[in-house]
Amino acid sequence: MYPIIKNAHITFALISIALFLLRATWSVMESPKLQQKWVKIAPHIIDTLLLACAIYLMITLSQYPFAENWLTAKLLALFAYIGLGTFAIKRGKTAGSRMFFSLLSVATFCYIFAVAITHSPTL
């Protein structure tokens, strides 16, 4: 079961960033496509599945944030990614600020990905 959940976690992470990139692009372009119902719902479903897989893996491997430095770094970076993402998609006042926060969000996602691969918060 572990390999299936691990692969699902990776797949959901890739789908999540792909949807983020699409939504961020539409946000910067001020596209009405951002208001479609599926665009508002799908990311929540994908991210919930991503988090569920993460929790399963954490419990299965007995590796927990604040006990494992790399998981702590991933968790804190996830909070940063979510916060930056809200400015990239919704809260940024101008297209330029939304672009800036989008780039910061993607950089944060890349950090999370790198920490997941290396199991090291310092890279």
- Cross-strand bridge partners of residue 68: 65
What's the alpha-carbon Rg for the chain, to the nearest Å?
15
pLDDT digits (tens, 9 = 90+) for 8-58: 999 999 999 999 999 999 999 999 999 999 999 999 999 999 999 999 999
Phi, psi of 66 (to 5 degrees): 75, -10
Name the residue ranges covered by the structural domains of the chain: 2-118
pLDDT of residue 36: 97
pLDDT of residue 12: 98
pLDDT digits (tens, 9 = 90+) for 102-119: 999 999 999 999 999 999
Residues in the chain: 123
